[in-house]
Amino acid sequence: MKRESLWLRYKDEDKKELERVNSLYKKCLDEGKTERECVELVVKMAEEKGYRELYAATAAGDKFAAGDKFYAVQMNKSVALFQLGTKPVSQGMNILGAHIDSPRIDVKQNPLYEKDGFAYFDTHYYGGIKKYQWTAVPLALHGVVAKKDGEVVNVCIGEKDDDPVFVITDLLVHLAGQQMTKKASEVVTGENLDLLIGNCPLEENEELEKEEKETLKANVLKLLKESYDIEEEDFLSAELEIVPAGKARDLGFDRSMVLAYGQDDRICAFTSLFAMLDLASEVTQSTLCCLLVDKEEIGSVGATGMQSHFFENAVAELIAATEEDSQRLVRRALAGSRMLSSDVSAGYDPLYASAFEKNNAAFLAHGLTFNKFTGSRGKSGSNDANAEYIAQLRKIMDDADVKYQFAELGKVDVGGGGTIAYILANYGMNVIDSGVAVLNMHAPYEVSSKADVYEAVRGYTAFLRS
C-alpha cells in the first residue's frame, strides 16, 4: 500500500487548524501530568461546554433529553463523558476510550530518609519503564497529601521557572566500568531509583532534640511544614508522583513533532476529548461517550481501572434516568455499542528497524493508526477485532477523508502490548485498538507527529458522528 506523509496533502488552512489543535494539546499535557490533574482539567473543559455531573442530575430528578451532556467521575482518577442522542441509550453508544495514567515513579508511604549527607525520597516505579532512562534528568513532584482532618493538600513542585527540581542520580562514567558490563535491565535497580531532595542540614535549634541526628531529614520536614503544613506521618496517606519537569515542546527545525512526557496515552485521551467537546452543540442519533480511565499501565485493576464497574454503573444510572431501571437494558446498551480503544502504537523508528516488520508498522505523519490485534506472541491477551467492524470503520474514515493506517506492535515474537479493548469487548461490543504512533514509548519524553494529533481528532470526530 502506498505511504505518503500527511504534510504533503495539507493546505495552509489545514496547517493553521493543525497548529491550533496542537497548541491546545501541548497545554493540556502541561496541565495534566497525573491522572488526577487530567480529570480536573477534563471536568473544567466539559463544564465550559455545558456538561453536568450525572449523579447530581439524577438525584435532583432532572429531565433528560437528546443533546444533554453529563460527566461521571470515579475517585478523581477516571471520568466518563456522555452526550445523549436521539436514539435510546440501550440501542448502543459510540465510545472513545483511552487511559490517562502514564509510566512514572511513585513515592513510597514511608519515604523520607537521609544517608551520608543527602536526603532522599524512597520510591517504587509504576508501569513498564527502562529504569536507566529516569536518571540524571530534571524531575518534578505532583500529587496530593490527604490529612486526617479531611483536608487534601495539592502538591506540585518543579514546574514553575523559580521552583526547585529533583533528580535520580547516576554513577559517573569514569567509575562505571563494572556497571556498564551489566544488562540494561540491571544497570539501575528499582531500589536505586530514589529521589534526591536535599543536602542542607537543619541549623541548630533549641526545639530540635539533642539526640536528633537526622538533621537533613529534619530540615526537609521543616520546609514541608512551612510550605504545606505536612507532617511526616501524612505521607502515609499521600499519593505523590515523580514525573519529568518542564513543558511539552515543539521538536525539530520544522516544528513538525511534539516532545513531551505522558503522551502514552494522553495523546489519545486529549484528542478523544477534543473530538467529544467539538460535537457539544450537535444532536447525534447515537449517544456519545468519552471514557478516560486510570491504571491501564498496571493491568487496568483497582476501583479506578477499566476492570472496575465504574463505567457500567454510570451507564446504568443514565439508562435508569432516560428509560427504565433495567439491567437487561444496560447489557443491551453495552453489547450494542461501538468503541475505539484509543491507545498509542509503536511508531516505526529507522534507527531500530530490526524490531519492526515494515509493511505492518505505524509511521509518524501517516495518520490515525488501527491495530486489529495487540497482545504478544500468538496474540495472547488481545482483542482481535472483527473484519465486518473494520470495514465499517474504513468507510467512516474514507467518507470523512481521514487518513489512517493499519499496524501491529512490532515483529512477531519480538514483544507486544495491550490496551483496555479486551475488557470492553467482554460485554460483546465491537471494539478495535486505535490511536497515534509515538517514538520513545514509556520513556520520560515521547515523540509524536503534530499531523497525527490533528488527524486523530478528525478521525475520532468522524467516528462519533457515524
C-alpha distances in Å from residue 159, one per residue of 32, 202, 282? 12, 26, 38
What does the alpha-carbon distance between residue 180 and residue 187 come to, in Å, rounded to a whole number? 7
For the record, the C-alpha cell of 406 comes out as 493499519
CATH 3.40.630.10 is held by the domain 6-102+261-465: yes
Residue 155 near residue 144, CB atoms below 8 Å: yes
Backbone angles phi, psi at 50, to 5 degrees: 95, 10
- Set of cell numbers at residue 128: 513498564
DSSP state of 89: G
Tens-digit pLDDT string for the chain (466 aa): 677 899 999 999 999 999 999 999 999 999 999 999 999 999 999 999 999 999 999 999 999 999 999 999 999 999 999 999 999 999 999 999 999 999 999 999 999 999 999 999 999 999 999 999 999 999 999 999 999 999 999 999 999 999 999 999 999 999 999 999 999 999 999 999 999 999 999 886 655 555 557 899 999 999 999 999 999 999 999 999 999 999 999 999 999 999 999 999 899 999 999 999 999 999 999 999 999 999 999 999 999 999 999 999 999 999 999 999 999 999 999 999 999 999 999 999 999 999 999 999 999 999 999 998 887 777 877 888 899 999 999 999 999 999 999 998 888 877 777 788 899 999 999 999 999 999 999 999 999 999 999 999 999 999 999 8
Give the distance, in angstroms, between the CA of residue 282 and the centroid of all CA atoms in the same chain: 27
What residue segments make up the domains of the chain, in order of their start?
6-102+261-465, 104-244
CA distance 12 to 242: 40
Q: Which CATH superfamily is domain 104-244 in?
A: Aminopeptidase i, Domain 2 (2.30.250.10)
Q: How many CB atoms lie within 10 A of CB 21?
A: 21
Measured CA angle at 19 (ends 15, 20), to 5 deg: 120
